[in-house]
């Protein structure tokens, strides 16, 4: 059994506290009654997340955690007491971030980037806000032009720091950022350059978008921000087009035509749809 990750375990027996699940070696763990689905039967394989409760016992849950062991997440601090700060992370027991793992004191009610790991002394899942020390140097796992998962990390003078595939550091330069983002937001992006210092230059648009003019970039960003659809057409009122895009109707039609020719959008009677490749 592994703490901090999902485990596929066999349902061995039902008891009043809940169902006991077993691994291949015969180790068992309790899945409390409130997480036992009425459809569960003995010998079913059940996917559960494992963590330790306040008494140090391994507990199974079917709740979805916001972070797995050895990963980063943007979490809200819900309590600070004599032991440290506690973050809400999707399971019943809040995640402890000890004072020693806080370069700056964490404040209740605020969100922070937290890295979760197993504490060697207690064998419990704990968090740290010292995330820089857990960033890995880039490996052959990522290549230029690869699509990657991003998490918005920090705004800097150069641009936007992002976590790449939950392990590497990347940067989106200011002149490459053409949409609004928020801290902790999850995005898709692309590797523009693998740098010798072990970091990555990232862009949000797929390779080839650098040939698109700024007006086209703006319209693409608007589409991204509206889940891939914009209810404007060449028949829309010129004042509405001006209000929503800042362009004249003539410029709007030119931009739409340019993106349509590049097969980046499709046109419909009720609006424009982004083509996701």
pLDDT given at position 183: 92
What is the predicted pLDDT for the residue at 180? Answer: 79
pLDDT of residue 210 exceeding 70, the answer is no
Look-up of token digits 């590497």 = 168
Its pTM stands at 0.74
C-alpha count within 13 angstroms, C-beta hemisphere, residue 235: 7
pLDDT tens by residue, 35-83: 999 999 999 999 999 999 888 899 999 999 999 999 999 999 999 999 9
Phi, psi of 226 (to 5 degrees): -115, 35
Which domains can be identified in the chain, with CATH numbers?
A: 6-61 (2.40.50.140), 71-133 (2.40.50.140), 147-203 (2.40.50.140), 212-274 (1.10.10.10)
223-277 pLDDT, tens digit per residue, is 988 989 999 999 999 999 988 888 888 889 989 998 998 889 999 999 999 987 5
Gap between the Cα atoms of 218 and 228, Å rounded: 13
Instruction: State residue 208's pLDDT score.
Output: 58
Give strand pairing partners of 127: 116
**Model pLDDT for residues 151-162, shown as the tens digit of each residue:** 999 999 999 999
pLDDT single digits (tens) 180-208: 789 999 999 999 999 888 789 998 877 65
Q: What are the start-end ranges of the H helices in the chain?
A: 214-225, 238-245, 249-261
Per-residue pLDDT, 213: 72
Q: DSSP E strands: which ranges in the chain?
A: 6-14, 18-22, 28-32, 45-52, 58-61, 71-81, 84-88, 95-98, 111-118, 125-128, 147-155, 159-164, 168-173, 186-194, 200-203, 229-230, 265-268, 271-274
Report helix angle 214-225 to 249-261, nearest 10.
Answer: 80
């Amino acid at each position: 059994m592994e703490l901090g990750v999902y485990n596929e375990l066999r349902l061995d027996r039902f008891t009043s506290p809940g169902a006991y699940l077993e691994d291949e070696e015969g180790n068992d763990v309790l899945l409390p009654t409130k997480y036992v689905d009425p459809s569960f039967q003995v010998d079913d394989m059940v996917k559960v997340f494992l963590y330790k409760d306040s008494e140090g016992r391994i507990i199974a849950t079917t709740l979805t955690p916001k972070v797995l062991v050895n990963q980063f997440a943007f979490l809200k601090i819900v309590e600070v007491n004599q032991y440290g700060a506690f973050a809400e992370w999707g399971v019943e027991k809040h995640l402890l971030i000890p004072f020693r793992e806080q370069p700056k004191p964490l404040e209740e009610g605020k969100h922070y980037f937290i890295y979760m790991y197993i504490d060697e002394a207690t064998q419990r899942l704990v968090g740290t806000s010292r995330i820089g020390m857990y960033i890995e140097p880039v490996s052959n796992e990522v290549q230029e032009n690869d699509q990657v998962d991003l998490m918005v990390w920090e705004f800097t003078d150069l641009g936007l720091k992002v976590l790449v595939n939950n392990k590497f550091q990347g940067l989106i330069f200011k002149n490459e950022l053409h949409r609004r983002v928020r801290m902790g937001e999850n995005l898709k992006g692309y590797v523009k350059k693998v740098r010798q210092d072990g970091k990555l230059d990232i862009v949000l648009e797929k390779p080839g978008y650098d040939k698109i003019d700024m007006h086209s970039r703006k319209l693409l960003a608007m589409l991204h921000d509206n889940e891939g659809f914009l209810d404007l057409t060449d028949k829309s009122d010129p004042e509405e087009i001006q209000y929503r895009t800042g362009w004249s109707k003539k410029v709007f039609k030119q931009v739409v035509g340019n993106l349509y020719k590049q097969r980046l959008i499709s046109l419909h009677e009720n609006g424009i749809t982004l083509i996701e490749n």
